[in-house]
A and B are shown apart, each in its own frame.
Chain A
Amino acid sequence: MIPGSFDYHRPDSIEAAIGLLASLGDEARVVAGGHSLIPMMKLRMATPEHLVDLQDITSLRGITINGAEISIGAMTTQAELIASDQLAAVCPILGLAAAQIADPQVRNMGTIGGNIANGDPGNDMPALMQALDAVYILQGPEGRRDVAARDFYEAAYFTALEEGEILTAARFSAPPSGHGHAYEKQKRKIGDYATAAAAVVLTVENNSCQTAAIALTNVGDTPLYAEEASQILRGSNLDKKTITAAANAAKAITDPAEDGRGPANFRTHIAGIMVMRAIEKAIERAK
């Protein structure tokens, strides 16, 4: 549990960070809260020669809410997401889901940027970003580009992030006032990744589902946006049969690996249960 040797850099601006990445080449890694990368380095599964720590870049920190538009800086911690009353007022699912990540010590250090950029299918925030249809702001030597969360993830630890680029923020529109939402996560204990988890955001009017988005955590090698399942809910009356159909559609796109949480078929089954429970809870919360 001792990492290999590395050099440590702490730039104070995005430009300086991008410059460092450009000059140091592919043996450099960006570190945000360090709660994925540092354990991997301790296990020597990652052996970067240079760590570029973003913690002094103040412009990467904070939650900006402008009308319905929400922008969350990459270095915003999970604890800050939980503590933000402003965010809770317009989009409570983020704080509620962040509270299901690890434990308070980890949430004080772990950031949303690290959580969504690392490409670990066990991380919770990517599915939420997909359910909220967020856009990630990527900055690199070639300038800025925006990539939708639903297009960002390619395989485990492989994302649309190009070499030398830094994910600086996630932006999305707050769901309409009165929307229903839930993040249901089954895990073995505090600090564990999900056996399966489901994020649901929906709106209901006159017992009819107007909008719906469902995304899944840790049941494939990327987070999974469940379009067909979401489609089944839209326009429906959200009865038991529809919910079951949506859960079955969501299960159909899963491809989990067997691990200590159980074999693949169990984790797929739990994904279905989490989808159903998240839909039911979202309906309860919808006004």
Chain B
Amino acid sequence: MNDQANPSSAERAAKLQGMGSSRKRVEDARFTQGKGNYVDDIKLPGMLFGDFARSSHAHARIVSINKEAALAVPGVIAILTAEDLKPLNLHYMPTLAGDVQAVLADEKVLFQNQEVAFVVAEDRYAAADAVELVEIEYEALPVVVDPFTAMDADAPVLREDIADKMEGAHGTRNHHNHIFYWQAGDKEGTDKAMAEAEVVVEELISYPRVHPSPLETCGCVASMDKVNGKLTIWGTFQAPHAVRTVASLITTIPEHNIRIISPDIGGGFGNKVGVYPGYICAAVASIVTGVPVKWVEDKIENLTSTAFARDYHMTGKIAATNEGKITGLACHVLADHGAFDACADPTQFPAGFFSICTGSYDIPVAHCGVDGVYTNKAPGGVAYRCSFRVTEAAYMLERMIDVLALKLGMDPAELRLKNFITKDQFPYTSALGWEYDSGDYHTAMEQAMKTVDYEKLRKEQAANRAAFTAGETRSLMGIGVAFFTEIVGAGPVKNCDILGLGMFDSCEIRIHPTGSAIARLGTISQGQGHATTFAQILATEIGLPAEDITVEEGDTDTAPYGLGTYGSRSTPVAGAATAMAGRKIRAKAQMIAAYLLEVHDDDVEWDVDRFQVKGNPEKFKTMKELAFAAYNQAIPGLEPGLEAVSYYDPPNMTYPYGAYICVVDVDVDTGVVDTRRFYALDDCGTRINPMIIEGQVHGGLTEALAIAMGQEIAYDEMGNVKGGSLMDYYIPTAVETPEWETDFTVTPSPHHPIGAKGVGESPNVGGVPAFSNAVNNAFAHFGLTHTQMPHDHWRVWKTAEKLGLTG
């Protein structure tokens, strides 16, 4: 036998570079050579540029807008204000959360840097000069900055446009600055558990307002072809099809005459899910002028006006026995949504999936309630590298578990192990109604503790604490443990939609006659490496090498309809669609193979890249051969061609999880926190590309470091944004970033075709509480239960000072 002529199944599988292969990213060839094609790289003949004159006030009535001086700048074509958009009924646009948002400020401004006038000019320099010259006269109004005062009886009315509309998109509003109240769980039962508990802990856990701050800001090029009536918009869209549908609803241009293209996108992290005034203004300007109009915001505009994340003020309460068995969980959230409710959440979930807040623990009864309020801040509330409000929930819970451990005098890891949902409880229905698909938490936690030698770390910490007390060191060691369960892959159409659009996703595959293929999906990569990983799923499913499969996304004229990429949904939903479409290809190929091999369909079996006759593997037809036959051989009863499309409506969410352990050293004299060690174990089910998973975990942990240690979009009492530039907003560099240790266990999702759960957002969800718990833990022996993020130098030093450790 000639081995070379008959490679084994394993050898053939390796050549495909399918699932499990650390295949190099195919995207990187162009990115590393500076040959990506981003929105701002798009240059069209005669293209104009738009730029915004923005509000200097957080809350003010617009007395007048004088465009004269600005219009006199050479090269300025037009200046749009709300008055110009009103006749088109475009001065307000729908948000993804069922609210409306002013495209250009209508009579008054509601946050600093709000869009007031849109200057259109021949180049961006003329536009910028004109922006300076738009004279806007304001009459200042009292501002609401603190969400805790938003619903005071005498709080100023922020949203005059809906002041008398007390029935909101998510139920009754009980104050003019109230947006919604949403709740889940058993209030009465939870109250009872609290009343009867041996131990109750309660703490206000605030997750400050942060911003996803992708490297590339938001922008678009809108181009109206007046000859054929077709509007094309290239933009930084995480959900191009949803944008097309919304654009059609807003403009009344039929959907077939709108083409949305997401070119290369330089990071999204939730910031590019929503619809922004710049998109509408650029489209209107192009429709009016008949030439393309580009709008690209700068970093300050991105940080101060496009979607923020978090700003959740969570009062958590846990009931437990003296032995540390949790008997109930309650949480009330005050959610600051800014001036317009522009959250990106599935319609039925105005607080996202916050009710995942029972986390990884078997908690018998729970209740959570969320009040959303308006303030004079930028709108948003997007899922910054996490599923909808999941990182807020995980942060609250994982901090509260540590607070409980402190109260009980128990080790935080031991308390977690004691309360985990056990392996044999899956599928597990949580007290707040979610059905967890699979998990083995004890194994993950024990593997994490063993790898870092947790016991030794705690001994070392005890020695450090003794040395600190003895005055031998000014550094305190902190150990942060976090165990999270995410809920991702939104989601089942029966309960997940955005603006009525069901949250399925899709894949369409065409096999070419010579045995290569193109796959198109409804998602869009912003750095996740879809062109690499989706080809791997297909390589395994249809037996063609990954390198012979092109993956294309982001053009609504060619890609099948899908809801886009955010909330870790691409692998759980579009990945499943890809596998299912691949299986349809294989089913047809099986019939062709049976015909060619002159046996019954049931007498051939699949083996890596071919169908072979059962019991006679020497008789086979490879997928490559079958592709050629599909197009070029008349096969009775079968149409020519080899194509498939799958729209996948997931039966359930997926529930990735992980165990993270972080060790920090806190300098009490300076407040500087050094991360000595960070270990992250992730279980994301089946692993498609281990190298890309590791890259995702590295990126997400770096964002977690940024959030925990420095990121904050803060406002002063006048509603001015403090530090709205990268001078202040904390983006760590390689110097600030510690070395990440990654690890994994594999517990496949039982309902997903390939068992994958998604991983992109796990490290942000688990990383933030791990860092925060480590900093809090450094001071725990002095009685500190909780100190607010971000743990920047000043706040950490202040904590030390309050505990009497400085001076």
- Chain A: residues with CB nearer than 8 A to chain B? 1-2, 4-5, 44, 103, 186, 188-192, 195, 259-263, 266, 269-270, 273
Asked if residues A1 and B298 are in contact (CB atoms below 8 Å), the reply is yes
Whether B27 sits at the interface, judged by CB under 8 Å, is no
**In contact, B794 and A2 (Cβ under 8 angstroms):** no
Q: Which of B449-457, B730-738, B744-752 contacts A (4 or more CB under 8 A)?
A: B730-738
Q: Does B583 contact A (CB under 8 A)?
A: no
List, sorted by A's number, 5 A–B pairs whose CB atoms are closer than 8 Å. Answer: A1-B298, A190-B733, A259-B728, A260-B723, A266-B797
Given known pairs A1-B298, A189-B710, A269-B797, the reply for A260 and B728 (CB within 8 Å) is yes
Contact across chains for A1 and B299 when beta carbons are under 8 A apart: yes
Which one of B125, B732, B806 lies within 8 Å of A189 (CB-CB)? B732
Known A-B contacts: A189-B735, A266-B793. Give 7 more (CB < 8 A). A1-B300, A186-B670, A188-B792, A189-B710, A189-B730, A266-B671, A270-B793
Instruction: Determine the chain B residues whose CB is within 8 A of the CB of A273 once the complex forms.
Output: 669-670
B794 & A266 in contact (Cβ 8 Å cutoff) = yes
B794 is contacted by which of A5, A103, A261 (Cβ under 8 Å)? A261
Q: Which residues of A contact B298 (CB under 8 A)?
A: 1
B residues in contact with A2, CB < 8 Å? 124-125, 128
Which are the 6 A-B pairs with shortest beta-carbon distances? A262-B794, A2-B128, A260-B728, A1-B298, A260-B723, A190-B733
What is the distance, in angstroms, from B718's C-beta to the closest C-beta of chain A?
Answer: 15
A103 touches B129 (CB 8 A): no
The interface residues of chain A lying within 8 Å CB-to-CB of B198 are none
B672: CB under 8 A from chain A? yes
In the complex, which of the residues A5, A103, A195, A263 contacts B733, with contact meaning CB atoms closer than 8 Å?
A103
Interface of chain B residues 694 through 753 with chain A (CB within 8 A): 710, 722-723, 727-728, 730-733, 735-736
Contacts of B730 in A (CB 8 A): 188-189
CB proximity of A6 to chain B, nearest CB, Å? 11
> Chain B's nearest CB lies how many Å from the CB of A279?
14
A263 to B798, CA, bound (A): 11
Closest to A42 in B: B298
- Asked if A191 contacts B733 (CB within 8 A), the reply is yes
Q: How many A-B residue pairs have CB under 8 A?
A: 56
| Bound Cα distance from A110 to B798, whole angstroms | 35
Report the separation of the CA atoms of residues A270 and B793 in the bound assembly, to the nearest whole angstrom: 10
* B124: nearest chain-A partner, CB-CB: A2
A188-B793 in contact (CB<8A): yes
Identify B125's interface contact among A5, A261, A269, CB under 8 A: A5
Residues from chain A with a CB closer than 8 A to the CB of B124 are 2
Q: Answer whether residue B460 sits at the interface, using C-beta atoms and an 8 A cutoff.
A: no
B132 at the interface (CB under 8 A from A): yes
Q: Quick check: A190 and B736 within 8 Å, CB to CB?
A: yes
CA distance A259 to B714 in the complex (A): 12
Chain B residues positioned under 8 Å from A1 (CB to CB): 298-300
In angstroms, how far is the closest chain A Cβ from the Cβ of B697?
A: 22
* Interfacial chain B residues near A192, Cβ < 8 Å: 727
Least distance between A138 CB and chain B CB atoms (Å)? 30
| A186 contact set on B, CB distance < 8 A | 670, 672, 793
List which B670-692 residues lie within 8 A (CB) of chain A. Answer: 670-672
Min Cβ gap A182→B in Å is 15
Can you name the residue of chain A whose Cβ is closest to the Cβ of B792?
A188
- A259–B735 Cα distance when bound, in Å, is 23
Chain A, Cβ-Cβ closest to B798: A266
For B299, the chain A residues whose CB sits under 8 A away are 1
Give the complex CA separation of A263 and B124 in angstroms.
38
A270 cross-chain contacts in B, Cβ below 8 A: 670, 793
Chain B residues contacting A4 (CB-CB under 8 Å) are 129, 132
Q: Is the beta-carbon distance between B733 and A188 smaller than 8 angstroms?
A: no
- List residues of chain A with CB within 8 A of the CB of B669: 273
User: Which chain B residues lie closer than 8 Å to A189 at the CB level?
Assistant: 710, 730-733, 735-736
Bound-state CA distance A5–B731 (Å) is: 31
On chain B, the residues within 8 Å of A103 by CB distance are 733
Shortest C-beta distance, A45 to chain B (Å), equals: 12
Chain B residues within an 8 Å CB radius of A269: 797, 806
Kindly provide the distance from the CB of A50 to the nearest chain B CB, expressed in whole angstroms: 17
Roughly how many angstroms separate A192 CA and B725 CA in the complex, as a whole number?
Answer: 12
Closest residue of chain B to A272 (Cβ to Cβ) is: B669
A169 to chain B, nearest CB (A): 30
Residues of chain A contacted by B722 (CB below 8 angstroms): 260
User: Which residues of the other chain, A, contact B129 by a CB distance below 8 angstroms?
Assistant: 4-5
State whether B793 touches A195 (Cβ < 8 A). yes
CA distance A192 to B132 in the complex (A): 28
Identify which of A4, A260, A262, A269 gathers the most chain B CB atoms within 10 Å of its CB.
A260
Kindly state the separation between the CA atoms of A259 and B725 in the bound complex, as whole angstroms: 13
Taking the closest CB of chain A, its distance from the CB of B732, in whole angstroms, is 6
Report how far A5 CA is from B128 CA in the complex, Å: 10
- How far, in whole Å, are A5 and B132 apart by their CA atoms in the complex? 12
Per-residue contact bits, chain B 235-257, to A (CB 8 Å; 1 contact, 0 not): 00000000000000000000000
A273 CA / B474 CA spacing, docked (Å): 12
Chain B residues within an 8 Å CB radius of A195: 793
A262–B671 Cα distance when bound, in Å, is 11
Give chain B nearest CB distance to A271 CB in angstroms: 11
Residues of A within 8 A of B735 (CB): 189-190
Shortest C-beta distance, A124 to chain B (Å), equals 16
B755-797 interface (Cβ within 8 A of A)? 792-794, 797
**Set of chain A residues within 8 Å of B806, measured between Cβ atoms:** 269
Contact residues of B between 278 and 330, Cβ < 8 Å to A:
298-300
CA distance A270 to B672 in the complex (A): 11
A171, B794: Cα distance in complex, Å = 37
Give the contacting residue for B710; candidates A5, A188, A259, A266; CB below 8 A: A188
Q: Please, how many angstroms separate the alpha-carbon atoms of A189 and B300 in the complex?
A: 19
**B739 CB, min distance to chain A CBs, angstroms:** 17
Of A1, A189, A262, A273, the most chain B CB neighbours within 10 A belong to A189
Query: A5 vs B124: C-alpha distance in the bound complex, in angstroms?
Result: 12
Q: Contact string, B647-675, partner A, CB cutoff 8 A, digits 1/0? A: 00000000000000000000001111000
- A2 CA to B131 CA in the complex, in Å? 11
Q: Which residues, 117 to 173 on B, are CB-close (under 8 Å) to A?
A: 124-125, 128-129, 132
CB nearest to B300 among chain A residues: A1
Q: In the complex, what distance in Å separates the CA atom of A189 from the CA atom of B737?
A: 10
User: B803 to chain A: closest CB distance in Å?
Assistant: 15
Note all chain A residues with C-beta closer than 8 A to B671.
266
In the complex, residue of chain A having the shortest beta-carbon distance to the beta carbon of B299 = A1
What distance in Å separates the Cβ of B65 from its nearest Cβ neighbour in chain A? 20
Tell me the complex Cα distance, A44–B132, Å. Answer: 9
Q: From B129, which residue of chain A is reached at the shortest CB distance?
A: A4
Whole-angstrom CA separation of A138 from B238 in the bound complex = 55
Closest residue of chain B to A39 (Cβ to Cβ) is B727
**Distance A5 CA – B735 CA, assembled complex (angstroms):** 37
Assembled-state Cα–Cα distance A5/B129 (Å): 8
Residue of B nearest to A193 (CB): B727
Note all chain A residues with C-beta closer than 8 A to B125. 2, 5
